[in-house]
């Protein structure tokens, strides 16, 4: 700079501003005033809905977002109230949470841990969110759960099925309503036994990452306990789009059951490929060849079309359930959006309601108070029958649905039918179960 | 032995998609000198032409059936496709059933015009720009195209089945006394791609047009000096390349249900294929496509993954590294292409 | 100053001021206003700005100077992140050993990968680096996270568990990454009227590192070594004919830029102790290419601008939803409000990829030199306008 533009007046002005700025911190800093991170002070409270809006799970994320909006509507007292009317706890008044209107911010996880954490951080640091919820993969859920623990806010997990979320990676500030891989195995095993007998040879194709492994481990343990033999377990790369080279060896392996430990796009493609290779019509050892998809998602099953017919799996919830809670939710969601909700929508709706209810009962937004209210909480009327939020690992224990691809669907939503509702007692495991060992809940962190 | 042949067959079938996409990429690179990152998107658009044709054919009107209830307890609206009411359920059902092969007829003109628009509207301004700019602008285009498709069709895969007649499996080994069962549609796909590849090669080999294009690929300026409008011919070749990618996409839909990011999934792989084959070499692209398909297929066998865990994840890249280090210009690359 | 000429000093001073006052500059809108949506002055995003700035500066040393387009630089970022978290796991939460190790390890990897890849040039080089990076990604995502030999913790991401050794961790120290006791999360919030500014320790540490990196980059650009690299870009063959072996120079540039990437990865872990494999995916490598070219390849400040631009989009535009749109246009009559929301809807929230793609294309088509060229054009336009009315005043303008 050759020439200075500073004038005396300008210097004085900016000097005055600077000193004012420097003086401010001592007067206005609100650092120590809050008792916990993002304590809501005004007439509203902000929740953070962190779902995949881009990437392969964008449609599930969109459905989750719809359910969140519905839940916020119901908590704030508009709409028909949905499951709030059937929920066994009546703490919620329909006037927001603790009289504060519920507002929300949304973010995009992109189904990547980094992006999900960045988005959650911006909700906490910028928007003042006091609770984060969402996600549709276990990696993301675990990453965001860890972040919420560090930052001192509550995390209500969305769709995450890995044992690790409430096992090795459990956190005191994190809660999961969705079921897990162990429960899938425990629920499926008796049904598989009654359908296919106890002398079967299973072949596993497993997505080669954490969730895939825990699912394979769980299903393997459950089926081997029935007397089944595991012929082979093959890991498939997550990025694989064509599974033909993994399916082809199944034909001559002597196996008579194929277990597809895949989810999302992987599941659609591997199932489509398996059916292409004629596995559904195949006869091995004098028995019909069977395919099992332990974790079903209706949205994804739609992509597999005809191929899902007659194939068994498990799911957290399905809209065709006839209990009062499910019906109220389906009516409320269906009237607003014109189609039935998915299990992802259901679990996040429940999570939002459960959180709001816990705050109301605890009388405070303080994460430690909320966690205390959720721990050991027993409730009913949210579509899964009697449910317990276990204090030791923050996992919900409830009935698990075993479903089958429907042979004659009446509409494009009518893809699955419930074969059996496995009672909660049958899928409950000890806190010290080896598949969930290695982590510690720690103590709740209120931040600030 | 059976298992070995099965894996070879599987590799050829995998390789046919790679070969078709790589062939189109090489055509564009060889003629126009453009690195086209939107080529995967063209493959994806082709697949969605099939989806659209299927949707159009099954456009339906609704009649209320009071005897059935929908999920909210209201009377069910039953959908009947128009084609079924026009041609009767028999013929109409068959037309819908054959929607993927029918889509080929529509895909060719659509893809050629998409190619023309792309080349005339965007790519032509990038001939003299650095390759990095070409990559960036076509990459941007690829993102835009896939997001537009996502906006209209959603992110989840969409089922587009093959005609029932071609849906089962065939025992291809029966003639040789072996038991090799393989899905019919995948065999169809293999022969389809071989046909397309043969057609492109003979078009370039035996027609005057092809001869001029080949001459242009070798020395664009001289051909231009001879008073031939080489640019127009190259534009047409861009359209042809787009059509090849699109047809590969149309025929791929019954193998795996298409989704909006299928192009990106193939993009990196097909670039590796092109480079391993040698930039600018058409036979190289085809050869490398089939070769990498077979190698990938073998790397996924249990034997391979237990000997070397994770080999199925990295085989393609490993092969690319070895080939590039031992054969500087890929398998059949030409001297002086893309070396600066 | 610092051995820089006048112009470079000016640039350095501007960048320093921008970095120091970022928490204020990036928060131009009052916290409660509708426009607060566009505020970027919160710790996480500011950290991302400077860290990806470092990444892009480093990438630019390779690509901007030598013209070698690497499609695998994200691998070094990931390797840096993993190394840093491993130091947290083994030694404790002080960030210094982690950052040092991340530079060293990524430098080592860069040396190996560069030595092999630089045997080829042009697109062959690009594909070689891509292949190496994709291999690293695949290995980190699944193979190296198997229960027996868990180096990366796979999908979940490498993180510190309570039962990790952490040999040097003492009771008084924060349970989060810290610099000799100063937690990276420590944030001083300052309220000025309706505005709130957040001064974050982690951000300022990253910003200082970024300034050092920026200074080093200027020195490299202006050094004889930098000249040599430019010579490689303009005509490597001619260089070789004069008897110079260009390989050591390009390799040095590759290693330096790999170390920059590793440093960026280390810093990412330092401000947020979780390292995931997605950081190494080819799309992440593509992102740094986009940042550099978008900002202006070969310019000093371009890559930093590009990094900021892309990160801003990713974090701000993805968070705008229909609800927010309705609140913006609430002043319009109902029909018009819905119409406006309908028009904008595809481009925000879940459509932010679309907006970004369109912007890439526009920038590349109309501003081949990236944002820097855009800035120069705007400046030039202003100069012309201010020069016209009183042509004599032009004399006193700095000569530049």
Question: In angstroms, rounded to a whole number, what is the distance separating the alpha carbons of residues B51 and B249?
Answer: 10
| Domain span at A217 | 183-315
Residues of C in contact with B137 (CB under 8 A): 360-361, 364-365
Two structure tokens written together for A275? 């059916």
> A380, A88 in Cβ contact below 8 A?
yes
Question: In angstroms, rounded to a whole number, what is the distance separating the alpha carbons of residues A20 and A211?
Answer: 55
- The whole-number pLDDT of residue A291 equals 94
Chains that touch C (3 or more CB pairs under 8 A): A, B
Two structure tokens written together for C397? 């303008």
Residues β-bridged to residue A45: A102
Longest dimension (CA), chain C: 77
Kindly tell me if the per-residue pLDDT of A5 is higher than 60: no
Return the closest-CA partner of residue A380 out of A392, A371, A390, A388. Answer: A388
Residues β-bridged to residue A97: A100
A174-176 β-sheet, strand order? A101-108, A44-51, A131-134, A154-157, A174-176
Chains that touch A (3 or more CB pairs under 8 A): B, C
B198-249 pLDDT per residue, tens? 999 999 999 999 999 888 888 888 888 888 888 888 899 999 999 999 999 9
Kindly tell me if the per-residue pLDDT of A33 is higher than 90: no
Question: In angstroms, rounded to a whole number, what is the distance separating the alpha carbons of residues A294 and A312?
Answer: 7
Q: Does B185 touch chain A (CB under 8 A)?
A: yes
Strand C195-200, strand C187-192: pairing = antiparallel
Other CB atoms closer than 10 Å to residue A208's CB: what's the count?
27
> C155, A138 in Cβ contact below 8 A?
yes
Nearest CB among A60, A244, A307 relative to B14 is that of: A244
Q: How far apart are the first and last CA of chain A?
A: 45
Q: Are C132 and B321 inside 8 Å of each other by CB? A: yes
- Give the residue from A379, A394, A409 where a domain finishes: A394
C223-234 pLDDT per residue, tens? 999 999 999 888
Kindly tell me if the per-residue pLDDT of A29 is higher than 70: no
Q: Are A411 and B70 inside 8 Å of each other by CB? A: yes
> C370, C297 in Cβ contact below 8 A?
yes
Question: In angstroms, rounded to a whole number, what is the distance separating the alpha carbons of residues C194 and C179?
Answer: 32
Other CB atoms closer than 10 Å to residue A43's CB: what's the count?
10
Return the closest-CA partner of residue A346 out of A61, A52, A64. Answer: A64
Two structure tokens written together for A251? 């034909």
What's the CATH number where A281 sits? Answer: 3.40.50.2300
Q: Does B16 touch chain A (CB under 8 A)?
A: no
Q: Does A150 touch chain C (CB under 8 A)?
A: yes
Split at pLDDT 50, 70, 90, the class of A437 is confident
Chains that touch B (3 or more CB pairs under 8 A): A, C
What percent of chain B lies above the pLDDT cut of 70? 98
- Give the residue from A286, A315, A344 where a domain finishes: A315
> How many helices, marked H, and strands, marked E, lie in chain C?
14, 6
Q: Are B305 and A234 inside 8 Å of each other by CB? A: yes
Are residues A270 and A240 part of one domain? yes
Q: Are A334 and B71 inside 8 Å of each other by CB? A: yes
Q: Are B268 and C135 inside 8 Å of each other by CB? A: no
Nearest CB among C122, C131, C142 relative to B313 is that of: C142
Kindly tell me if the per-residue pLDDT of B178 is higher than 80: no
A177-218 pLDDT per residue, tens? 999 999 999 999 999 999 999 899 999 999 887 788 889 999
Is residue A425 in some structural domain? no
Are residues A204 and A164 part of one domain? no
Q: Does A337 touch chain C (CB under 8 A)?
A: no
Q: Are B140 and C360 inside 8 Å of each other by CB? A: yes
C115 CA to chain B: closest CA distance, Å?
11
- Give the residue from A367, A394, A421 where a domain finishes: A394
Shortest CA distance from C144: residue in chain A: A209
Kindly tell me if the per-residue pLDDT of C263 is higher than 90: yes
Nearest CB among A29, A54, A164 relative to C189 is that of: A29
Q: Where are the alpha helices (DSSP H) in chain B?
A: 2-32, 39-57, 82-97, 99-121, 131-153, 184-206, 208-218, 220-225, 230-252, 262-277, 282-299, 302-307, 311-326
Residues of A in contact with C396 (CB under 8 A): 3
Looking up tokens 């992140």 gives C81
Is residue A35 in some structural domain? yes
Q: Are B268 and C121 inside 8 Å of each other by CB? A: no
> C65, C253 in Cβ contact below 8 A?
yes
Are residues A124 and A212 part of one domain? no
Longest dimension (CA), chain B: 76
C357 CA to chain B: closest CA distance, Å?
5
Looking up tokens 């002597």 gives A254
B178 CA to chain C: closest CA distance, Å?
36
Question: In angstroms, rounded to a whole number, what is the distance separating the alpha carbons of residues C220 and A448?
Answer: 43
Mutation target for A interface from B157, B169, B171: give the one with most A CBs within 10 A.
B157
Q: Is A61 exposed, middle or buried (0-12, 13-18, 19+ CB in 10 A)?
A: buried
Are residues A377 and A253 part of one domain? no
Strand C158-159, strand C195-200: pairing = unpaired
Q: Are C135 and B320 inside 8 Å of each other by CB? A: no
Nearest CB among C42, C155, C318 relative to A210 is that of: C155
Kindly tell me if the per-residue pLDDT of B330 is higher than 80: yes
Nearest CB among C147, C185, C276 relative to A143 is that of: C276
Q: Does A249 touch chain B (CB under 8 A)?
A: yes
Q: Are B133 and C297 inside 8 Å of each other by CB? A: no
Return the closest-CA partner of residue B9 out of B253, B306, B298, B305. Answer: B298
Residues β-bridged to residue B321: none
Kindly tell me if the per-residue pLDDT of B331 is higher than 50: yes
- The mean predicted confidence, pLDDT, of chain A is 88
Q: Are A306 and B296 inside 8 Å of each other by CB? A: no
Nearest CB among B142, B272, B330 relative to C131 is that of: B272
Kindly tell me if the per-residue pLDDT of A361 is higher than 60: yes
Q: How far apart are the first and last CA of chain C?
A: 17
Two structure tokens written together for C43? 């710790």
Looking up tokens 């039953």 gives B78
Return the closest-CA partner of residue A115 out of A41, A58, A199. Answer: A58
Q: How far apart are the first and last CA of chain B?
A: 46
Are residues A194 and A76 part of one domain? no
Mutation target for C interface from B125, B261, B275, B336: give the one with most C CBs within 10 A.
B275
B14 CA to chain A: closest CA distance, Å?
8
Nearest CB among A239, A276, A335 relative to B72 is that of: A335
Kindly tell me if the per-residue pLDDT of C381 is higher than 50: yes
Eight-class DSSP state of A308: G
Question: In angstroms, rounded to a whole number, what is the distance separating the alpha carbons of residues C309 and A114?
Answer: 18
Q: Are A28 and C192 inside 8 Å of each other by CB? A: yes
Shortest CA distance from B7: residue in chain A: A245
- The whole-number pLDDT of residue A4 equals 42
Are residues A346 and A265 part of one domain? no
Two structure tokens written together for A101? 């209107």
B142 CA to chain A: closest CA distance, Å?
14
Q: Give the dihedral of Cα atoms B2, B7, B9, B12; nearest 10 deg.
A: -160
- The whole-number pLDDT of residue A2 equals 41
Nearest CB among C157, C279, C350 relative to A108 is that of: C350
- The whole-number pLDDT of residue B220 equals 82
Domain count, chain A: 2
Are residues A383 and A258 part of one domain? no
Are residues A382 and A248 part of one domain? no
Q: Is B274 exposed, middle or buried (0-12, 13-18, 19+ CB in 10 A)?
A: buried
- CATH architecture of the domain covering B2-326: Orthogonal Bundle (1.10)
Are residues A323 and A311 part of one domain? no
Return the closest-CA partner of residue A43 out of A96, A107, A7, A111. Answer: A96
Eight-class DSSP state of A395: B
3-class DSSP state for residue B77?
strand
A81-117 pLDDT per residue, tens? 999 999 999 999 899 999 999 999 999 998 888 899 9
Shortest CA distance from B314: residue in chain A: A237
Q: Does B55 touch chain A (CB under 8 A)?
A: no
Residues 6+ apart with CB under 8 A from B305: A234, A235, B299, B311, B312
CA angle centred on B54, ends A297 and B103, rounded to 5°: 130
Q: How many angstroms separate the Cα of A339 from the Cα of each of A331, A347, A404, A407, B44?
A: 10, 17, 20, 21, 28
Kindly tell me if the per-residue pLDDT of C359 is higher than 60: yes
Interface size, chain A vs chain C, as Cβ–Cβ contacts under 8 Å = 134
Residues of B in contact with A307 (CB under 8 A): 159
Nearest CB among B317, B325, B338 relative to C123 is that of: B338
Split at pLDDT 50, 70, 90, the class of C343 is confident
Strand C187-192, strand C182-183: pairing = unpaired
Are residues A200 and A140 part of one domain? no
Q: What average pLDDT does range A350-369 have in this prediction?
A: 95
> C158, C98 in Cβ contact below 8 A?
no
Q: What average pLDDT does range B95-107 have in this prediction?
A: 92
Q: Does A58 touch chain B (CB under 8 A)?
A: yes
Is residue A434 in some structural domain? no
- The whole-number pLDDT of residue C370 equals 87
Interface size, chain B vs chain C, as Cβ–Cβ contacts under 8 Å = 120
A405-430 pLDDT per residue, tens? 998 888 888 889 999 999 999 999 99
Nearest CB among B68, B155, B262 relative to A58 is that of: B155
Two structure tokens written together for A134? 């969402």
Shortest CA distance from C274: residue in chain A: A143
Is residue A223 in some structural domain? yes
Q: Are B185 and A306 inside 8 Å of each other by CB? A: no
Question: In angstroms, rounded to a whole number, what is the distance separating the alpha carbons of residues C58 and C76?
Answer: 11
Question: In angstroms, rounded to a whole number, what is the distance separating the alpha carbons of residues C118 and C122?
Answer: 10
Q: CA torsion sign, A383 to A385 to A386 to A392?
A: negative
Nearest CB among C44, C155, C323 relative to A121 is that of: C44
Q: What average pLDDT does range A228-232 have in this prediction?
A: 93
Looking up tokens 């879940």 gives C350
């Amino acid at each position: 700079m050759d020439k200075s533009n500073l004038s005396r007046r300008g210097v004085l002005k900016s000097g005055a501003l600077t000193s004012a700025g420097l003086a401010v911190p001592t007067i206005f800093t609100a650092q120590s005033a809050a008792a916990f991170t993002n304590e809501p002070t005004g007439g509203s409270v902000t929740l953070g809905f962190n779902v995949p809006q881009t990437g392969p799970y964008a449609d599930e994320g969109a459905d989750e977002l719809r359910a969140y909006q519905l839940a916020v509507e119901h908590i704030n007292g508009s709409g028909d109230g949905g499951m709030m009317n059937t929920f066994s706890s009546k703490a919620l008044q329909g006037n927001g949470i603790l009289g504060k209107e519920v507002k929300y911010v949304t973010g995009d996880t992109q189904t990547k841990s980094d992006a999900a954490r960045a988005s959650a951080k911006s909700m906490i640091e910028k928007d003042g969110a006091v609770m984060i919820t969402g996600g549709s993969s276990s990696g993301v859920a675990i990453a965001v759960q860890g972040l919420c623990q560090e930052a001192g806010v509550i995390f209500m997990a969305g769709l995450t099925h890995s044992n690790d979320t409430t096992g090795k990676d459990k956190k005191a500030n994190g809660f999961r309503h969705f079921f897990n891989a162990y429960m899938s195995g425990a629920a499926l095993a008796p049904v598989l036994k009654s359908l296919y007998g106890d002398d079967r040879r299973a072949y596993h194709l497993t997505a080669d990452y954490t969730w895939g492994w825990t699912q394979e481990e769980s299903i393997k343990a459950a089926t081997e306990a029935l007397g089944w033999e595991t012929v082979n377990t093959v890991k498939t790369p997550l990025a694989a789009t064509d599974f033909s080279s993994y399916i082809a060896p199944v034909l001559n392996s002597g196996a008579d059951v194929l277990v597809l430990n895949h989810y999302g796009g992987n599941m659609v493609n591997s199932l489509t490929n398996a059916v292409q290779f004629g596995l559904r019509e195949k006869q091995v050892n004098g028995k019909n060849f069977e395919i099992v998809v332990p974790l079903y998602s209706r949205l994804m099953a739609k992509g597999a079309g005809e191929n899902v017919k007659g194939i068994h799996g498990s799911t957290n919830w399905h809209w065709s359930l006839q209990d009062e809670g499910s019906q109220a939710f389906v009516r409320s969601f269906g009237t607003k959006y014109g189609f039935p909700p998915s299990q992802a929508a259901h679990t996040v709706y429940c999570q939002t309601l459960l959180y709001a209810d816990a705050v109301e009962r605890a009388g405070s937004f303080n994460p430690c108070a909320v966690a205390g209210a959720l721990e050991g909480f027993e409730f009913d009327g949210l579509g899964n029958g009697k449910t317990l939020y276990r204090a030791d690992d923050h996992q919900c224990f409830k009935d698990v649905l075993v479903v089958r691809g429907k042979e004659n669907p009446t509409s494009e939503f009518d893809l699955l039918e419930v074969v059996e509702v496995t009672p909660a007692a049958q899928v409950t495991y000890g806190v010290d179960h080896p598949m969930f060992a290695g982590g510690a809940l720690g103590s709740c962190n209120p931040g600030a | 032995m059976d298992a070995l042949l099965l894996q070879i067959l599987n590799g050829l079938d995998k390789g046919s998609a790679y070969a078709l996409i790589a062939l189109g990429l090489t055509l564009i690179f060889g003629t126009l000198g453009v690195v086209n990152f939107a080529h995967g998107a063209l493959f994806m658009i082709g697949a969605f032409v099939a989806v659209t044709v299927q949707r159009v054919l099954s456009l339906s009107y609704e009649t209320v059936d009071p005897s059935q209830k929908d999920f909210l307890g209201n009377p069910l609206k039953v959908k009947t496709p128009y084609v079924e009411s026009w041609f009767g359920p028999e013929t109409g059902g068959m037309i819908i059933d054959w929607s993927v092969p029918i889509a080929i007829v529509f895909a060719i003109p659509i893809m050629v015009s998409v190619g023309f628009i792309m080349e005339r509207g965007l790519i032509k301004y990038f001939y003299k720009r650095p390759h990095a700019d070409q990559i960036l602008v076509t990459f941007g285009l690829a993102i835009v195209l896939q997001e537009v498709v996502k906006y209209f069709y959603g992110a989840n895969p969409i089922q587009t089945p093959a005609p029932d007649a071609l849906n089962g499996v065939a025992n291809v080994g029966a003639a040789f006394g072996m038991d090799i069962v393989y899905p019919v549609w995948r065999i169809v796909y293999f022969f389809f791609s071989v046909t397309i590849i043969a057609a492109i090669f003979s078009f370039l080999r035996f027609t005057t047009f092809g001869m001029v294009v080949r001459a242009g690929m070798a020395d664009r300026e001289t051909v231009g000096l001879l008073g031939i409008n080489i640019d127009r011919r190259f534009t047409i070749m861009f359209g042809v390349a787009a059509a090849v990618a699109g047809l590969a996409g149309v025929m791929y839909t019954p193998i795996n249900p298409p989704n909006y990011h299928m192009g990106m999934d193939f993009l990196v792989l097909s670039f590796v294929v092109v480079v391993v084959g040698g930039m600018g070499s058409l036979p190289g692209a085809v050869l490398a496509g089939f070769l990498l398909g077979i190698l990938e297929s073998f790397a996924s066998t249990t034997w391979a993954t237990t000997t070397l865990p994770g080999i199925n994840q990295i085989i393609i890249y490993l092969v690319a590294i070895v080939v590039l280090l031992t054969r500087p210009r890929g398998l059949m690359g030409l001297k002086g292409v893309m070396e600066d | 100053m610092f051995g820089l000429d006048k112009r470079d000093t000016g640039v350095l001073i501007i960048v320093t001021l921008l970095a120091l006052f970022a928490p204020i500059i990036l928060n131009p809108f009052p916290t409660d206003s509708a426009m607060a949506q566009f505020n970027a002055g919160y710790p996480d995003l500011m950290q991302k700005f400077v860290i990806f700035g470092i990444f892009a500066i480093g990438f630019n040393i390779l690509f901007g100077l030598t013209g070698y387009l690497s499609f695998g630089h994200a691998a070094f970022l990931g390797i840096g992140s993993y190394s840093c978290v491993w130091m947290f796991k083994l030694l404790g939460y002080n960030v210094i050993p982690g950052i040092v190790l991340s530079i060293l390890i990524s430098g080592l990897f860069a040396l190996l990968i560069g030595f092999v890849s630089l045997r080829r040039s042009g697109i062959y080089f690009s594909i070689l680096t891509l292949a190496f990076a994709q291999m690293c990604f695949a290995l980190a995502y699944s193979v190296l996270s198997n229960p027996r030999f868990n180096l990366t913790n796979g999908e979940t991401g490498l993180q510190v568990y309570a039962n990790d050794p952490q040999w040097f961790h003492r009771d008084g120290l924060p349970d989060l990454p810290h610099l000799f006791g100063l937690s990276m999360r420590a944030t001083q919030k300052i309220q000025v009227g309706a505005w709130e500014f957040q001064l974050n320790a982690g951000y300022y540490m990253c910003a200082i590192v970024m300034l050092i990196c920026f200074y080093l980059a200027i020195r490299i650009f202006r050094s004889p070594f930098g000249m040599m690299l430019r010579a490689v870009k303009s005509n490597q063959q001619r260089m070789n004919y004069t008897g110079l072996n260009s390989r050591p120079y390009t390799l040095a540039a590759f290693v330096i830029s790999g170390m920059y990437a590793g440093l960026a990865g280390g810093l990412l872990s330092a401000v947020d102790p979780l390292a995931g494999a997605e950081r190494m995916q080819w799309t992440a490598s593509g992102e740094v290419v986009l940042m550099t070219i978008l900002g202006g390849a070969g310019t000093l400040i371009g890559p930093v601008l590009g990094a900021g631009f892309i990160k801003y989009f990713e974090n701000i535009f993805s968070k705008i939803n229909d609800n927010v749109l309705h609140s913006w246009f609430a002043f319009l009559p109902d029909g018009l409000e819905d119409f406006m929301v309908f028009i904008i809807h595809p481009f925000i929230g879940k459509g932010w990829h679309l907006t970004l793609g369109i912007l890439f294309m526009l920038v590349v088509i109309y501003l081949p030199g990236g944002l820097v060229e855009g800035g120069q054009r705007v400046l030039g336009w202003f100069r012309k306008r201010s020069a016209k009315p009183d042509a004599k005043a032009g004399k006193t303008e700095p000569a530049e």
